[in-house]
Amino acid sequence: MNLVNVAYHDDLKEVQGDAALMALLSPGPDSTPFDRLEWWRLLVEEADILPLIAVAQAGKARAVLPLTRKARRVEGLVNWYSFRLAPLVTPGADAATLIGALATDLAGQSPHIMLFPLPDENGEATLLQTAFRQAGWAVFREPCDENHVLPVNGRSFADYLAARPGPLRTTLKRKASKVAVSIETRFNPDSWAAYEAIYAQSWKPEEGSPAFLRRFAEAEGAAGRLRLGLARADGVPVAAQFWTVEGGTAFIHKLAHTEASKPLSPGTTLSAALFEHVIDVDRVNLVDFGTGTDGYKRDWMEAMRPRYRLEMLRPGWPGNWPRLARLLAKRLVSRQTPA
């Protein structure tokens, strides 16, 4: 591999000037919303997060870690809407060498780095863990969340539904006729207003950044990736779900129903309609229900993928010593605790 150079960008416009990097950050056959430049721009403009985009380059090969500074610590460029954080590497490139160069150079940016929620289905967390350890960091890894998914495996919706738990199928039979369902693939301001009204009347906590979600929905609608479902009872919207479809995966971002409509189970009926749409119409390979340990996700999903937190500290930095001592003590206790 050619000599590896590392650069940092705190202005996303600089990223746009690198064609090889933009190829990594554009929608593609395996892309997710969370790895795109547009997502990072929303985090900067609507979530008030200052970016630190770390890029290793060797010829036309690139590896990138989207980061942000928090006091003396560097963390991943994510917020509560992000399903995952992952390094991005040019297909076919020497990922170990490129990520290793980033791990080594980042010692000059901060003595303390925290990355989460990291997947490891394709070895992402392990790649980072190995690279930072070899670069002289003390690395601590632990599970931090769950990602529930449905591998469709070529099934029809009817086949999938037949495998759902009996109580769920019974609820659908009894309650499906109680509400009327619509699914929109383009952004509609009136439908979005209905979603926001439903959310405000639901059991959900106050929305973290309504402007962030709306802008994301608008962009996904313009690209044809939006799947916004509404359930109405007697013409009144009572449940809403915000999904997107990209790279063969349906992503379930938000769902809510009004407390008053709970006896109608409108969320169950609406979920079934959206699953049917993405399986039979969009023909996705995977449905991703995001992070969280909510029990209801297990009724719809069939697999759980752990998400990890990596905490990296420079051992020679005195300010890290108290934290290192606590983490080493925690590791020792966990090794001595019977499984």
pLDDT at residue 281 in the model? 98
Q: Phi and psi for 175 in degrees, rounded to 5?
A: -115, -10
The proportion of the chain whose per-residue pLDDT surpasses 70, expressed as a percent, equals: 99
Environment class of residue 198 by beta-carbon count within 10 Å: exposed (0-12), middle (13-18) or buried (19+)? buried
pLDDT digits (tens, 9 = 90+) for 212-238: 999 999 999 999 999 999 999 999 999
What is the Cα 155 distance to its own chain's centre? 25
Kindly state the greatest CA–CA separation across the chain.
66
Please give the C-alpha separations between residue 39 and each of 12, 23, 45, 78, 218, in angstroms, as whole numbers.
Answer: 11, 15, 10, 9, 12
Contact criterion met (CB below 8 Å) for 293 and 117: no
Give the model's confidence band at 151: pLDDT under 50 very low, under 70 low, under 90 confident, else very high: very high
Q: Which residue has the tokens 């609608």?
A: 221
Give the model's confidence band at 206: pLDDT under 50 very low, under 70 low, under 90 confident, else very high: confident
Q: Phi and psi for 25 in degrees, rounded to 5?
A: -100, 15
pTM of the predicted protein model: 0.95
Q: What is the mean pLDDT of residues 264-290?
A: 98
pLDDT at residue 1 in the model? 64
Rounded Cα distance, 71 and 330, in Å: 24
Q: What is the mean pLDDT of residues 12-17?
A: 92
Please give the C-alpha separations between residue 277 and each of 150, 154, 183, 283, 284, in angstroms, as whole numbers.
Answer: 14, 14, 8, 8, 10
**Where on the phi/psi map is residue 305: left (φ > 0), alpha (ψ -120 to 50), or beta?**
beta
Please give the C-alpha separations between residue 335 and each of 222, 306, 331, in angstroms, as whole numbers.
Answer: 51, 20, 6
Class of CATH domain 153-284: alpha beta
Residue 339 has pLDDT above 60, yes or no: no
Please give the C-alpha separations between residue 69 and each of 48, 72, 129, 259, in angstroms, as whole numbers.
Answer: 12, 7, 20, 39
Environment class of residue 153 by beta-carbon count within 10 Å: exposed (0-12), middle (13-18) or buried (19+)? exposed
Rounded Cα distance, 120 and 126, in Å: 7
List all residues 6 or more positions away from 225 whose beta carbon is below 8 Å from its beta carbon.
244, 245, 246
29 vs 168, higher pLDDT? 168
Beta bridge partners of 249: 246, 286
pLDDT at residue 187 in the model? 98
338 vs 82, higher pLDDT? 82
Q: What is the mean pLDDT of residues 252-262?
A: 96
CATH 3.40.630.30 in the chain is located at: 153-284
Residue 2 has pLDDT above 80, yes or no: no
CATH architecture for segment(s) 5-145+306-336: 3-Layer(aba) Sandwich (3.40)
Give the model's confidence band at 59: pLDDT under 50 very low, under 70 low, under 90 confident, else very high: very high
Look at residues 62, 134, 127, 124 and name the one whose alpha carbon lies nearest to residue 93: 62
CB neighbourhood size of 98 (10 A):
26
pLDDT digits (tens, 9 = 90+) for 85-140: 999 999 999 999 999 999 999 999 999 999 999 999 999 999 999 999 999 999 99
